[in-house]
Structure 1
Amino acid sequence: MFGLESDSTLLFLAAAFCALCYLAICAGPGKSWLKTLLKTASVALLAVIAFLAAELMLLAAALMACAIGDFFLSRDEDEAFLTGVGAFAIGHLAYAALFYIHPSADLTRLEAGWPLVAALLLLGVVMIVVLFRRAGPLRWAVVVYVPVILVMGIMAIGIPLEGGLALILPAALLFIFSDFVLAQEMFVLDDSHRLRRVTPYAVWVSYWSAQALFLVGLSTGA
């Protein structure tokens, strides 16, 4: 399945099952250990798959950092939020490094892809301006995080749109979209805003799909 070994296929199906279970309850009120378990396991299992492939250690590290971030972001405390943001920043930097050192990477593709680079930079500026005004005491953590995820997205442009690797750039854009929507949900939208009915689903579907596409793309295009 997707170029994965049989054991890895079972793990992938288990990860997808956890992701679907979390999707079913993600919009429910409040935090819970069930949400934390399902959310964390759905990405941690992807990290295990990458770990089983000796050539994907950096991918495994990126996925595990994101799984740790999922764990902490699913809890209530501000300290947990900061730890989660830090873990995700490490994950994004690991992805950026992975894309930079990939044998097929070519940063000259950024020249041809300059409209996308410009769009990402513009989005980053808008997010920083808006979130600095709305994120309260967490503003500096958010402001530092935005450039990190943009670096990941820009590095993904250097990966060719060929074979399994063609999944990498869409995955990176899905990841950025997920973080953008999550930021709106946490810091911008009022509690009664009607978009809150769909933002949890948009965040989770785009986020987990991005992680799964990274795994499949790098497994089949390594």
Structure 2
Amino acid sequence: MRIVLVGPPGAGKGTQAAYLAENLSIPHISTGDLFRANISQGTQLGQKAQEYMRAGKLVPDEVTIGMARDRMEQPDAADGFLLDGFPRNIGQAEALDGILRESGTRLNAVLDLEVPEDEVVKRIAGRRMCRNDSGHIFHVVYTPPKTEGVCDVCGGELYQREDDREDTVRKRLEVYHTETEPIIDYYKAQGLVVTISALGKVSEVTRRAMEALGHAAGQPGA
């Protein structure tokens, strides 16, 4: 299957993408991984991306599209893939359609993870990270530490990242609504969108997603 995963920040796309890719035996292709791999390997696209990033500029669509094209052409993606973070706007969606047409394939589904905006803010703004670079993450509501402000594992100080502050989260949501959300209507016009609630336990969301994708599994190109 060839799937695009969409949803607002805090919808749990990364978590669900990993589970779904494993269950469907297809590679999980995330924009973040693409950038890290290309930059660490010193590819031409990676060097271009790094130039823009160092200058504090947005990486042009053509660079991101080029990275995605190269990754989708790898042998492990021949029978399908799950795209997470790409396409991010209408231009990238149109480019993806072109890439798939060239290869004689098509998308099977666009899985839309739906989460109320207040829940997104609650999920992200409640996160607390350990300063000791241990990677331990807590949440003031869902997974609170035993002692407020202290990591249960290593005793390090817990803090809230700038990106997780409520005002920043709401700005990220505005960008999502403006730039990325329109691709949902773009794909609805192609009959590809399946929408599920991303509320509840991770396993429950995965079950809903697998059931929704099961209806799309019989489409041409699966």
Q: TM-score, normalised by structure 2?
A: 0.25
Structure number with larger C-alpha Rg = 2
More helix by share: 1
* Larger RCO (CA within 8 A; separation ≥ 6): 2
More strand by share: 2
Q: TM-score, normalised by structure 1?
A: 0.25
